[in-house]
Amino acid sequence: MSSVHDYSARRIDGGEQRLSDYAGQVLLIVNVASQCGFTPQYAGLEALWRKYRDRGFAVLGFPCNQFGAQEPGSEAEIADFCSTRYDVTFPLFAKIEVNGDKTHPLYQHLKAAVPGVLGTEAIKWNFTQFLVDRQGRVVARHAPTTAPADLEREIEALL
């Protein structure tokens, strides 16, 4: 598979979502967690979503409990936390694994398309961000220390 659009994932509400439904949009795909030092990035991700969604941009959040067990809740608990604590309205998906034998196929693709520092594919922590162009090509990978607002120039260039 050569495009993010070739994959699907289970939404946080349990339904299946084809990523081809996002064809023609710029995407920011992020593995998220509710009990992480980077959790306040939800606010910045939501701000990007609200600022650019009408121009063909979407943030897709993928909860993951692989880093310090910082996403221990159920999908319902995660959805409630994101909604009440950070007013998140961007699409959230069911919990997945981003490393190891059970890595979600989407994340296998993302990591292979744009490896991290020194060519390593492993996700190092929560809130690693992948920027995807309108054709579904992964164009950039950013560390959790990159604030969502710092991605605006790259997002603008793709829009």
Name the residues annotated as catalytic: 36
* Residue 147 exposure: Cα atoms within 13 Å on the Cβ side: 6
Tokens of residue 31, six digits: 């593995």
- Helix 41-52, helix 75-86: angle, nearest 10: 80
By the 8 A CB rule, do 3 and 35 touch? no
Check the CA dihedral 26-129-72-77 and report its sign.
negative
